[in-house]
Amino acid sequence: MDKVYIISVFAENKPGRLERITKVLAEANINILAFSITSTNGFGVIKFMVNKCQEAYKLLKEKGFTVSLNEAIGIEMKDQPGGLYEVVKILSSKGINIESASVYVAETRKKAYLIVEVEDTTKAMESLKEENLKFLKPEEIL
Amino acid sequence: MTGAKRGEILQNSMTYGLFTGAFVMHYGAEKVGILVIPAGPGNTERQINLMKDFGTNMLHITPSYALYLASVIYDKGFDPKRDFKLKRAYIGAEPYSEETRIKIENMLGIDIYNCYGLTEMNGPGVGFECPYKSGLHIWEDNFLMEIINPETGEPVPDGEIGELVLTTLNREAMPLIRYRTRDLTRVIPEPCSCGRTHRRITRILGRSDDMFIVKGVNIFPQQIEQILMGIKGVAQNYQIVLESYDEMTIKVEIDRELFDGKIERLIKLKEEIIDKIRSATMVKPKVELLEPGTLPVSEGKAKRVIDNRTI
Rg (CA), chain B: 22
Question: Do B261 and A64 count as a contact with CB atoms less than 8 A apart?
Answer: no
Residues 240-279 of B with CB under 8 A from A: 254, 256, 259-264, 266-267
Query: What's the CA gap between A119 and A123, in Å, rounded?
Result: 9
Confidence band for B301, pLDDT divided at 50, 70 and 90: low
Question: Do B266 and A43 count as a contact with CB atoms less than 8 A apart?
Answer: yes
How many Cα atoms occupy the beta-carbon half-sphere of B152 within 13 Å?
7
Query: What's the CA gap between B95 and B203, in Å, rounded?
Result: 8
How many CB pairs lie under 8 A apart between chains A and B?
Answer: 51
Percentage above 90 pLDDT, chain B? 61
Query: What's the CA gap between B49 and B279, in Å, rounded?
Result: 35
Query: Which residues on B lie below 8 Å from A39 (Cβ)?
Result: 263
Q: Which of B260, B263, B291 sits opposite A40 (nearest CB)?
A: B263
Q: Which of A12, A38, A66 sits opposite B263 (nearest CB)?
A: A38
CB A6 within 8 A of CB A72: yes
Minimum distance, in Å, between the CA of residue A8 and any CA atom of chain B = 5
User: pLDDT tens digits for B96-142?
Assistant: 778 888 989 999 999 999 999 998 898 888 999 999 999 999 999 99
Q: Is B276 helix (H, G, I), strand (E, B) or coil?
A: helix
CB B189 within 8 A of CB B158: yes
Question: Do A117 and B261 count as a contact with CB atoms less than 8 A apart?
Answer: yes
N-to-C CA span, chain A: 17
Query: Which residues on A lie below 8 Å from B289 (Cβ)?
Result: 10, 12, 42-43
Query: Residue ranges per domain, chain A?
Result: 4-70, 71-140
Minimum distance, in Å, between the CA of residue A80 and any CA atom of chain B = 30
- For B294, the closest chain A residue by CA position comes to A12
Does B198 have pLDDT greater than 90? Answer: yes
Q: Domain A4-70, what architecture?
A: 2-Layer Sandwich (3.30)
Query: What's the CA gap between B181 and B147, in Å, rounded?
Result: 10
Q: Which of B260, B262, B288 sits opposite A42 (nearest CB)?
A: B288
Interface of A with B (CB under 8 A): 6, 8, 10-12, 38-40, 42-45, 47, 64-70, 99, 117
Confidence band for B179, pLDDT divided at 50, 70 and 90: very high
Report the candidate in B113, B167, B125 with the shortest Cα–Cα distance to residue B22: B125
User: Residues in chain A with pLDDT < 70?
Assistant: 1, 108-109, 142
- At residue B287, the pLDDT reads 95
DSSP category for residue B120: G
> Which stretches within chain A are classed as H helix?
17-27, 53-62, 83-93, 121-128
Above 0.90 for ipTM, yes or no? no
Domain spanning A71-140: CATH 3.30.70.260: yes
- For A71, the closest chain B residue by CA position comes to B261
| Lowest mean pLDDT across A37-51, B177-191, B294-308 | B294-308
Which class for B175: exposed (0-12), middle (13-18), buried (19 or more C-beta within 10 A)? exposed
CB A133 within 8 A of CB A90: yes
- Helix B44-54 to helix B63-75 angle (10° resolution) is 80
Query: Which residues on B lie below 8 Å from A40 (Cβ)?
Result: 263, 266-267
Strand boundaries in B177-258, DSSP class E: 179-185, 187-188, 200-201, 206-207, 212-214, 217-219, 234-244, 247-254
CB B38 within 8 A of CB B11: no
Report the candidate in A26, A66, A74 with the shortest Cα–Cα distance to residue A49: A74
Torsion on CA atoms B289, B290, B291, B293, rounded to nearest 10: -140
Average pLDDT for residues B273-283, to the nearest whole number?
Answer: 93
Query: Which residues on B lie below 8 Å from A64 (Cβ)?
Result: 292-293
Question: Do B261 and A66 count as a contact with CB atoms less than 8 A apart?
Answer: no
Query: What's the CA gap between B272 and B252, in Å, rounded?
Result: 12
**Do strands B9-12 and B234-244 pair parallel, antiparallel, or not at all (unpaired)?**
unpaired
Report the candidate in B141, B177, B145 with the shortest Cα–Cα distance to residue B162: B145
User: pLDDT tens digits for A66-95?
Assistant: 999 999 999 999 888 998 999 999 999 999
Contacting residues for A18 by C-beta, under 8 A, at least 6 apart: A11, A37, A46
Query: What's the CA gap between B39 and B59, in Å, rounded?
Result: 10
Of B42 and B90, the structure prediction assigns the larger pLDDT to: B90
